[in-house]
Amino acid sequence: MKEIVIAQPLGITRELLESLASGLKKEGWNLTAYDKVPSGQEELGKRIEGADIAVIANYPLKKEALEKASSLKYLCVAFTGVDHVDISYCKERHIAVSNCAGYSTESVAELAFGMALSLYRMLPECGEAIRNGKTNAGLCGIELKGRKFGIIGTGAIGQRVAGLAQAFGCEVYGYSRTPKTYLVNYTDLDTLLKTCDIISIHVPLTDETRGLINKEKIALMKKDAILINTARGPVVDSKALADALKEGKIAGAGIDVFEGEPPLPADHPLLSAPHTILSPHVGFDTKEAMERRAILVFHNIENYLKGDQKNVICDAI
């Protein structure tokens, strides 16, 4: 029997899953889909040990689990980044790997912009005030119109954030290895950090971007600037960011991603940082994005089986 294993939940209804899988089942494929995340690498390895094709999302997939999957030929990562997968071992084993680029563009961009709006209008503080019988004293907000909005990484998500910023009347600046022509104000990273009121990060995690926003880079930011990170946690030095917030060196931060998946350790520096909106890695997680992702997963599997690599939706891996 040919085996496809969806090793962690895709966040869709069983009806949609069955509908998407119907064609593959007619072709003789057996589909096993788990509705809970694995407890660890040992359990994940057991889930995929008989799979010819496996699907994971953002749960780490390490060599110790992959070693058990002796039949695995294709891994579909139902996620944008693949830094949580042992790609080197997959290459060594000649396991084909693709991700699902583009499914969360809208959802991540909207969260990034929502965080900026929440910080500028002090929405968490407003909610706390009204629940505690207080007035609007000290809650005078800031308008986005006319602000300098800096985007680090102008791929699909960064471009969408740029479009939202332009719609709000912001002056958009961009920093990227591959500038896009429609963004008028491309500049170097240091100039962007020194110039912009709002800085939103949208780069993948690579050797080059790990620790990109460190103590020295944060020190370049304006005192009234805010930093948004909905990309990858290790791109930003969390301790340096927390210190800057506590010392009043920058005005605020909105953070959806961390060094590891939540729950965070109780001593994580950002948990005690002021003027900070934190969310437990929800940027990609909307009903619409989960449905788009599932469609891409089955699109990729079907095209992989046809040998149609050009139509597998992924970034270069």
Q: What is the mean pLDDT of residues 227-232?
A: 98
Angstrom distance (rounded) from CA 199 to CA 195:
10
* Three-class HEC string of 64-107: HHHCCCCCCCEEEECCCCCCCECHHHHHHCCCEEECCCCCCHHH
91-147 pLDDT tens trace = 999 999 999 999 999 999 999 999 999 999 999 999 999 999 999 999 999 999 999
The residue whose two tokens read 């900026």 is 116
Percent of the chain with pLDDT over 70: 95
pLDDT at 180: 72
Looking at residue 308, its pLDDT comes to 67
Task: Please give the pLDDT value at position 229.
Answer: 98
Buried b (16+ CB within 10 A) or exposed e, 2-38: ebbbbbbbbbbeeeebeebbeebeeeebebebbeebb
SS3 label, residue 292 = helix
Does 317 have pLDDT greater than 80?
A: no
- Answer whether residue 8 shows pLDDT above 80: yes
Question: What pLDDT band is residue 310 in, cutting at 50, 70 and 90?
Answer: low
Residue 313 has pLDDT above 60, yes or no: no
Give residue 307's pLDDT: 85
* pLDDT single digits (tens) 16-57: 999 999 999 999 999 999 999 999 999 999 999 999 999 999
pLDDT, tens only, 288-304 = 999 999 999 999 999 99
What value does the CA radius of gyration of the chain take, rounded to a whole number of Å? 21
pLDDT over 60 (residue 265): yes
Residue 177 confidence (pLDDT): 84
* Spatial separation of the C-alpha atoms in residues 223 and 220, rounded to whole Å: 9
Do 83 and 235 meet the contact criterion of CB atoms below 8 Å apart?
no
Q: H or E stretch including 175?
A: strand 171-175
Residue 69: partners with Cβ closer than 8 Å, 6 or more residues away: 45, 48, 49, 51, 54
- C-alpha to C-alpha distance for 28 and 133, rounded to whole angstroms: 63
Q: Say what the pLDDT of residue 81 is.
A: 86
Q: What is the pLDDT of residues 170-183, one digit of tens each?
A: 999 999 988 776 66
pLDDT in tens, 133-149: 999 999 999 999 999 99
- Bridge partners (DSSP) of residue 74 are 53, 96
Q: In this predicted structure, what is the pLDDT of residue 309? A: 64
DSSP 8-state symbol, 216: H
Question: What confidence score (pLDDT) does residue 178 get?
Answer: 80
pLDDT at 315 over 60: no
Active site residues: 232, 261, 281
Residues 6+ apart with CB under 8 A from 44: 7, 38, 56, 59, 61, 65
Mean pLDDT of the chain: 94
Q: Give the pLDDT of residue 316.
A: 47
